[in-house]
Structure 1
């Protein structure tokens, strides 16, 4: 902890002031030097005068961590925290080390609350036992400061933790409860925070198999987005609507929403949206329409867009699965199996629909082995898919995977 004198000296030097310049006509240069060296304590009148000369409130000099120090620290922390998860190295640990010396000395301010929020989240990601203590402190500060949007956004975090733990019912309950807490005449959340809640609620309703409620919430979010005239989350919502239309077998909605995804990608110059539209088209033609030549065309387009999007990495995992399915459907079994065996269910997949789509790989591998005459491997691979999909909600993927397993069991000579 810097002493009062050290804080005064640090601020003086930051502003490139000499002792004489800061002392002015109400303090002597010698007295100011004694104060800075901790050999004299200024009176409240002198403290107020020094603060005024520095252009700050006198209370800032009295804090263990000044507002200036907090702002500087927060700027460093925000820069580290903005690094994408896919590009993370040790940024979360760096944040912990930067904030830890002051984390228990933060007085009430937005900067303090934000530092506590980021510190607690990094603590969670690093599996630190004390993360929840600082999470609760951040929540309390946001509440005291009446920063309702920040408070509401942070409140989502616990729900998302439960989602990542695949405790979907509990996650939905937390999110609905938190959203209801902020739904009052006294509190009006901004459009961004409101859309975050609507989007997450739609995802969680589908995660627990309440597809009708999910569709209603998604439509509500799309209408709200248009009314507020903001594009925030619009690409996520269009992709979600497109995927839901594919699952529901609604061709008109599928074409409409995937067209919207492409239009957004062109308008916003967002390659990710354009690439995801191609991936969803490939998925539709492979898993639903069974027009594998069209599936192959779309997945190759996805790969080309991906090369431009991920210039420094080779993220071909989604490509492996969909191209493997296309080649299987086109009768190129050995090539299909080679690709399917390279596919890995992503660690970041937590939604039952994403997991169900990924678990299709086991059914397709099983079908490949069966075509190649290896019934034992076929049944074993199908059993993996069966066991993984069984606890998840009813979907066309679950039906396909279970049917594949049952059909292979019946046709196997060993059963």
Structure 2
């Protein structure tokens, strides 16, 4: 057998001599190493997904999945931005987008047979948990609208819009929601914000005796909206429910009930509630009755809409995780809030809670909140602000050079 190497003496020094076989072995190893390096470089330039650190432990929703599919298929050149929960690297090299949905299988099935699924293990390195949807997932994905980009260059390229005026860049609505027109899920109050603002939330110590609706974990942009409003009176125990009204997405009243509080009433607050002693005298409906009716009426993916809706849910002793609050959509500076009456008059050009009426009409208020939310979703934050900035927020947008103030306060209105 030929030795792999031998020693020779050259100029008084020993030097290893590589045999032909060893030389070939070295060449082979270098070639394989080079191929591995090349393959690694190719892999690093291939499309891949990385989940953002703060979303690693959170399940994704149908809306999250839709964001990824839109970006993968269209990319920034079509005005679509990166998904909010992950990053798709080298999107331009995506050749096709395939969506495979298998009914009847869950995450537990996957991990039960994980070791036998070699192809899935090696070719699909990014795995996330998907929350179940009560609606048709495929229909929700492929019927959803592609959101517009905040990038001015993209906006100009696709719809000819100009740069955002400086006065709008610091507007509270724009700073909170951006300028894109999005689906309703973009305006559903996140749970952490609900906890921070002391909304009724499941598991929180102050709401242990509250009733939970039969709600799914997530909603979609096609989920139904329901407007809700309550009236209260003052009892020995504080404010308690005396009337509740709810309208569906079409504005049809599906619930309007007078409710007799269990505690002695000290003040009917008729000026605001419209409730009198004569109205409640024959009433036997209790809070528990109303809670049961609401649970039956609300679909599992319903989104409740109201104005300062947290007060209504507290009066109802009801926990519902998916809400849109119009007082937080039409935002003011420094955390202040508009009255429902003011927004309705400015945006919907309709008067509610007028002086000639005795108290508020909760059906009217629930409908106003619903239509304000629908209008905001349809128009998008930027258009809402541009259309109503003077009459509602009291400002005029003035096009001026960059070094000058872009917005000038309009004369104050006494009803704000």
TM interval, shorter chain, is under 0.3
Task: Judging by fraction of residues, say which structure has more strand.
Answer: 2
Structure number, greater radius of gyration: 2
TM-score, scaled relative to structure 2: 0.24
Task: Judging by fraction of residues, say which structure has more helix.
Answer: 1
TM-score, scaled relative to structure 1: 0.24
